[in-house]
Protein backbone atom coordinates (compact mmCIF):
# COMPACT_ATOMS: atom_id res chain seq x y z
CA UNK A 1 0.00 0.00 0.00
CA UNK A 2 1.96 2.99 -1.23
CA UNK A 3 1.47 6.04 0.93
CA UNK A 4 0.04 8.97 -0.93
CA UNK A 5 0.61 11.87 1.41
CA UNK A 6 2.39 15.14 0.90
CA UNK A 7 5.70 15.77 2.58
CA UNK A 8 4.23 18.92 4.14
CA UNK A 9 1.45 16.96 5.79
CA UNK A 10 3.87 14.26 6.95
CA UNK A 11 6.02 16.90 8.61
CA UNK A 12 2.98 18.56 10.17
CA UNK A 13 1.73 15.28 11.68
CA UNK A 14 5.18 14.38 12.99
CA UNK A 15 5.84 17.82 14.53
CA UNK A 16 2.43 17.87 16.23
CA UNK A 17 2.91 14.39 17.66
CA UNK A 18 6.37 15.32 18.93
CA UNK A 19 4.55 18.02 20.96
CA UNK A 20 2.02 15.47 22.22
CA UNK A 21 -0.83 16.65 19.95
CA UNK A 22 -2.66 15.13 17.02
CA UNK A 23 -4.21 16.57 13.87
CA UNK A 24 -7.71 15.46 14.85
CA UNK A 25 -7.44 16.94 18.35
CA UNK A 26 -6.97 13.67 20.24
CA UNK A 27 -4.37 13.03 22.92
CA UNK A 28 -1.67 10.47 22.06
CA UNK A 29 -3.43 7.63 23.88
CA UNK A 30 -7.04 8.52 23.02
CA UNK A 31 -9.24 6.31 20.88
CA UNK A 32 -11.66 7.76 18.38
CA UNK A 33 -15.33 7.39 19.25
CA UNK A 34 -16.38 3.71 19.21
CA UNK A 35 -19.91 2.69 18.22
CA UNK A 36 -21.04 -0.94 18.15
CA UNK A 37 -24.31 -2.18 16.72
CA UNK A 38 -25.16 -5.87 16.92
CA UNK A 39 -27.59 -8.03 14.97
CA UNK A 40 -27.77 -5.84 11.88
CA UNK A 41 -27.85 -8.71 9.35
CA UNK A 42 -30.82 -10.98 10.01
CA UNK A 43 -29.67 -13.70 7.60
CA UNK A 44 -26.39 -14.19 9.42
CA UNK A 45 -26.11 -16.31 12.59
CA UNK A 46 -24.49 -13.30 14.21
CA UNK A 47 -23.42 -9.85 13.09
CA UNK A 48 -22.04 -6.53 14.25
CA UNK A 49 -21.01 -3.20 12.88
CA UNK A 50 -18.22 -1.20 14.45
CA UNK A 51 -17.56 2.45 13.81
CA UNK A 52 -14.14 3.61 14.96
CA UNK A 53 -14.24 7.28 14.02
CA UNK A 54 -14.83 7.07 10.29
CA UNK A 55 -13.48 3.52 9.97
CA UNK A 56 -16.41 1.19 9.44
CA UNK A 57 -16.36 -2.60 9.64
CA UNK A 58 -19.19 -5.12 9.42
CA UNK A 59 -18.75 -8.72 10.53
CA UNK A 60 -21.18 -11.54 9.80
CA UNK A 61 -20.86 -15.05 11.22
CA UNK A 62 -22.16 -18.26 9.69
CA UNK A 63 -22.20 -21.73 11.20
CA UNK A 64 -22.06 -24.88 9.12
CA UNK A 65 -21.25 -28.51 9.73
CA UNK A 66 -17.90 -29.82 8.60
CA UNK A 67 -14.92 -31.98 9.48
CA UNK A 68 -12.50 -31.20 12.31
CA UNK A 69 -8.77 -30.75 11.77
CA UNK A 70 -6.94 -34.07 12.28
CA UNK A 71 -4.84 -32.65 15.15
CA UNK A 72 -7.90 -31.36 17.04
CA UNK A 73 -10.58 -34.06 16.49
CA UNK A 74 -12.64 -32.91 19.50
CA UNK A 75 -12.87 -29.25 18.54
CA UNK A 76 -15.01 -27.16 16.25
CA UNK A 77 -13.31 -25.08 13.58
CA UNK A 78 -12.86 -21.30 13.49
CA UNK A 79 -12.28 -19.61 10.14
CA UNK A 80 -11.63 -15.89 9.78
CA UNK A 81 -11.66 -14.16 6.42
CA UNK A 82 -11.28 -10.48 5.57
CA UNK A 83 -12.57 -8.71 2.49
CA UNK A 84 -11.10 -5.31 1.76
CA UNK A 85 -13.92 -4.38 -0.61
CA UNK A 86 -13.04 -1.80 -3.27
CA UNK A 87 -15.80 0.58 -2.20
CA UNK A 88 -14.04 1.13 1.15
CA UNK A 89 -10.95 2.93 -0.12
CA UNK A 90 -9.45 4.20 -3.38
CA UNK A 91 -6.52 1.88 -2.67
CA UNK A 92 -8.49 -1.36 -2.41
CA UNK A 93 -8.82 -3.37 -5.58
CA UNK A 94 -11.09 -6.28 -6.43
CA UNK A 95 -9.49 -9.68 -6.70
CA UNK A 96 -8.21 -12.48 -4.48
CA UNK A 97 -7.10 -11.46 -0.94
CA UNK A 98 -3.73 -9.68 -0.93
CA UNK A 99 -1.13 -9.83 1.85
CA UNK A 100 -2.81 -6.99 3.75
CA UNK A 101 -6.17 -8.70 4.01
CA UNK A 102 -4.52 -12.04 4.81
CA UNK A 103 -2.44 -10.46 7.57
CA UNK A 104 -5.50 -8.69 8.99
CA UNK A 105 -7.54 -11.91 8.95
CA UNK A 106 -4.76 -13.86 10.63
CA UNK A 107 -4.25 -11.23 13.34
CA UNK A 108 -8.00 -11.17 14.13
CA UNK A 109 -8.01 -14.99 14.08
CA UNK A 110 -5.04 -15.20 16.45
CA UNK A 111 -6.68 -12.89 19.01
CA UNK A 112 -9.84 -15.01 19.11
CA UNK A 113 -8.07 -18.38 18.90
CA UNK A 114 -5.24 -17.81 21.38
CA UNK A 115 -7.51 -16.26 24.02
CA UNK A 116 -9.76 -19.33 23.61
CA UNK A 117 -12.69 -16.96 23.16
CA UNK A 118 -14.94 -19.67 21.70
CA UNK A 119 -15.43 -22.94 23.57
CA UNK A 120 -14.56 -25.01 20.51
CA UNK A 121 -14.94 -28.34 22.36
CA UNK A 122 -18.65 -27.63 22.73
CA UNK A 123 -18.89 -27.41 18.93
CA UNK A 124 -17.93 -31.05 18.45
CA UNK A 125 -20.77 -33.31 17.24
CA UNK A 126 -18.92 -36.58 16.56
CA UNK A 127 -15.21 -36.62 17.49
CA UNK A 128 -12.99 -36.83 14.42
CA UNK A 129 -16.00 -36.83 12.08
CA UNK A 130 -18.39 -33.99 12.48
CA UNK A 131 -18.06 -30.57 14.10
CA UNK A 132 -19.51 -27.10 13.71
CA UNK A 133 -17.46 -24.66 11.66
CA UNK A 134 -17.72 -20.99 12.64
CA UNK A 135 -17.09 -18.64 9.74
CA UNK A 136 -16.21 -15.08 10.70
CA UNK A 137 -16.31 -12.84 7.66
CA UNK A 138 -14.93 -9.35 8.14
CA UNK A 139 -16.15 -6.76 5.68
CA UNK A 140 -14.34 -3.43 5.73
CA UNK A 141 -16.76 -0.78 4.47
CA UNK A 142 -14.74 2.39 5.02
CA UNK A 143 -10.99 2.54 5.63
CA UNK A 144 -9.90 5.44 7.79
CA UNK A 145 -7.10 3.63 9.61
CA UNK A 146 -6.62 1.01 12.36
CA UNK A 147 -8.51 -1.79 10.65
CA UNK A 148 -6.98 -4.30 13.10
CA UNK A 149 -8.66 -2.95 16.25
CA UNK A 150 -11.95 -2.22 14.49
CA UNK A 151 -12.06 -5.69 12.87
CA UNK A 152 -11.11 -7.52 16.08
CA UNK A 153 -13.79 -5.62 17.99
CA UNK A 154 -16.43 -6.24 15.33
CA UNK A 155 -15.53 -9.95 15.11
CA UNK A 156 -15.90 -10.38 18.87
CA UNK A 157 -19.14 -8.36 18.94
CA UNK A 158 -20.53 -10.54 16.14
CA UNK A 159 -19.52 -13.76 17.94
CA UNK A 160 -21.24 -12.54 21.11
CA UNK A 161 -24.33 -11.97 18.98
CA UNK A 162 -24.16 -15.40 17.31
CA UNK A 163 -26.95 -17.93 17.82
CA UNK A 164 -26.85 -21.53 16.77
CA UNK A 165 -29.80 -23.83 16.17
CA UNK A 166 -30.44 -26.43 18.88
CA UNK A 167 -29.79 -29.96 17.68
CA UNK A 168 -29.75 -33.56 18.81
CA UNK A 169 -27.89 -36.58 17.45
CA UNK A 170 -30.03 -39.59 16.53
CA UNK A 171 -28.31 -42.70 15.08
CA UNK A 172 -25.38 -40.57 13.99
CA UNK A 173 -27.70 -38.15 12.20
CA UNK A 174 -27.91 -34.54 13.33
CA UNK A 175 -31.49 -33.36 13.82
CA UNK A 176 -32.18 -29.66 14.11
CA UNK A 177 -34.67 -28.83 16.86
CA UNK A 178 -36.76 -25.76 17.39
CA UNK A 179 -35.14 -22.78 19.06
CA UNK A 180 -31.67 -21.27 19.31
CA UNK A 181 -28.91 -20.98 21.85
CA UNK A 182 -25.98 -18.58 22.00
CA UNK A 183 -22.55 -19.62 20.70
CA UNK A 184 -20.47 -20.80 23.71
CA UNK A 185 -18.14 -17.88 24.46
CA UNK A 186 -15.47 -18.12 27.18
CA UNK A 187 -13.35 -14.99 26.72
CA UNK A 188 -13.69 -11.54 25.20
CA UNK A 189 -10.30 -10.50 23.78
CA UNK A 190 -9.70 -6.85 22.91
CA UNK A 191 -6.94 -5.69 20.58
CA UNK A 192 -5.13 -2.34 20.87
CA UNK A 193 -2.78 -0.96 18.23
CA UNK A 194 -0.03 1.61 18.83
CA UNK A 195 1.77 3.35 15.99
CA UNK A 196 5.32 4.65 16.30
CA UNK A 197 5.67 8.12 14.80
CA UNK A 198 9.02 9.81 15.43
CA UNK A 199 9.92 8.45 18.86
CA UNK A 200 6.37 8.68 20.20
CA UNK A 201 3.69 6.01 20.45
CA UNK A 202 0.13 6.91 19.48
CA UNK A 203 -2.93 4.75 20.08
CA UNK A 204 -5.51 4.03 17.36
CA UNK A 205 -3.75 5.63 14.35
CA UNK A 206 -6.13 6.99 11.73
CA UNK A 207 -5.41 6.80 8.00
CA UNK A 208 -3.02 9.74 7.66
CA UNK A 209 -1.09 8.68 10.74
CA UNK A 210 -0.79 5.16 9.33
CA UNK A 211 0.67 6.64 6.16
CA UNK A 212 3.45 8.44 8.03
CA UNK A 213 4.11 5.91 10.83
CA UNK A 214 7.38 3.97 11.08
CA UNK A 215 5.75 0.84 12.44
CA UNK A 216 2.79 -0.40 14.42
CA UNK A 217 2.28 -2.96 17.13
CA UNK A 218 -1.02 -4.64 17.93
CA UNK A 219 -1.64 -6.55 21.15
CA UNK A 220 -4.67 -8.64 22.08
CA UNK A 221 -5.51 -9.07 25.77
CA UNK A 222 -7.84 -11.64 27.32
CA UNK A 223 -10.27 -11.01 30.21
CA UNK A 224 -7.56 -11.70 32.82
CA UNK A 225 -5.23 -9.01 31.50
CA UNK A 226 -2.86 -11.50 29.83
CA UNK A 227 -1.44 -10.88 26.39
CA UNK A 228 -2.66 -13.53 23.94
CA UNK A 229 -1.51 -12.27 20.53
CA UNK A 230 0.91 -9.69 19.15
CA UNK A 231 1.72 -8.48 15.66
CA UNK A 232 4.29 -5.90 14.68
CA UNK A 233 3.77 -4.38 11.25
CA UNK A 234 5.28 -1.71 9.03
CA UNK A 235 8.79 -1.27 7.73
CA UNK A 236 10.26 0.46 10.78
CA UNK A 237 11.44 -0.77 14.16
CA UNK A 238 10.82 -0.45 17.90
CA UNK A 239 13.37 -0.16 20.65
CA UNK A 240 12.81 -2.90 23.26
CA UNK A 241 11.71 -0.31 25.84
CA UNK A 242 9.11 1.03 23.40
CA UNK A 243 7.72 -2.50 23.04
CA UNK A 244 7.25 -2.72 26.81
CA UNK A 245 5.76 0.78 26.88
CA UNK A 246 3.30 -0.23 24.15
CA UNK A 247 2.31 -3.27 26.24
CA UNK A 248 1.68 -1.03 29.26
CA UNK A 249 -0.38 1.48 27.25
CA UNK A 250 -2.35 -1.28 25.52
CA UNK A 251 -3.17 -3.01 28.81
CA UNK A 252 -4.49 0.27 30.23
CA UNK A 253 -6.58 0.98 27.13
CA UNK A 254 -8.04 -2.54 27.18
CA UNK A 255 -9.15 -2.09 30.81
CA UNK A 256 -10.76 1.24 29.89
CA UNK A 257 -12.58 -0.31 26.96
CA UNK A 258 -13.81 -3.25 29.02
CA UNK A 259 -15.52 -0.81 31.39
CA UNK A 260 -16.92 1.22 28.52
CA UNK A 261 -18.24 -1.81 26.61
CA UNK A 262 -19.21 -3.77 29.70
CA UNK A 263 -17.23 -6.78 28.35
Partner 1 sequence: MNDKPERLIDKKGLRLDGRKPDELRPVKLQVGVISNADGSAYIEHGKNKILAGVYGPREVHPKHLALPDRTVLKCRYHMAPFSVQERKSPAPSRREIELSKVIRESLEPAIFMEYYPRTMIDVFVEVLQADGGTRCASITAAALALADSGIPMRDLVVACAAGKLDDTIVLDLMDTEDKVGSADVPVALMPNLNAVTLLQMDGTLSTDEFESAVNLALEGCRQIYALQKEALRTKYVNLKEENKEEAEE
User: In this chain, which stretch among 97-105, 155-163, 176-184, 200-208 interacts with partner 1, using CB under 8 A?
Assistant: 97-105
Q: Binding string, 169-188, against partner 1, x = CB under 8 A?
A: --------------------
Number of residues that bind partner 1 (CB under 8 A): 38
Give CA–CA dist 91/3, Å, rounded: 10
Strand 227-233 relative to strand 215-221, pairing: antiparallel
Among 153, 217, 249, 257, binds partner 1 (CB under 8 A): 217
Would you count residue 226 as binding partner 1 (CB under 8 A)? Answer: yes
Strand, helix or coil for residue 64: strand
DSSP 127: T
Give CA–CA dist 60/139, Å, rounded: 8
Q: Please, what is the minimum distance in Å from the beta carbon of residue 64 to partner 1?
A: 20
Give CA–CA dist 169/174, Å, rounded: 5
Give CA–CA dist 130/75, Å, rounded: 9
Give CA–CA dist 44/78, Å, rounded: 16
Q: Please, what is the minimum distance in Å from the beta carbon of residue 24 to partner 1?
A: 26
Cβ partners under 8 Å of residue 187, min gap 6: 115, 116, 117, 222, 223
Would you count residue 127 as binding partner 1 (CB under 8 A)? Answer: no
Contact 45, 163 (CB under 8 A): yes
User: In this chain, which stretch among 20-28, 110-118, 130-138, 140-148 interacts with partner 1, using CB under 8 A?
Assistant: 110-118
Q: Binding string, 1-40, against partner 1, x = CB under 8 A?
A: -x--------------------------------------
Among 70, 94, 172, 179, binds partner 1 (CB under 8 A): 70
Would you count residue 121 as binding partner 1 (CB under 8 A)? Answer: no
Residues that bind partner 1 (CB under 8 A): 2, 70-71, 73, 97, 99, 102-103, 105-106, 110, 113-115, 215, 217, 222, 225-240, 243-244, 247-248, 251
Amino acid sequence: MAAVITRVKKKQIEQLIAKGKRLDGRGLTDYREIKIEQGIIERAEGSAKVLLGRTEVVVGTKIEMGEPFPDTPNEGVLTVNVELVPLASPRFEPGPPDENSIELARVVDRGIRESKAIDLEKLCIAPGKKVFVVFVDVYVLNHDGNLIDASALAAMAALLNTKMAKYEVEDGEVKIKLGYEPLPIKKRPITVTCAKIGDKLVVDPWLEEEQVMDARISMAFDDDGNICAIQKGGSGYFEPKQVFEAARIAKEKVEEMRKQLNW
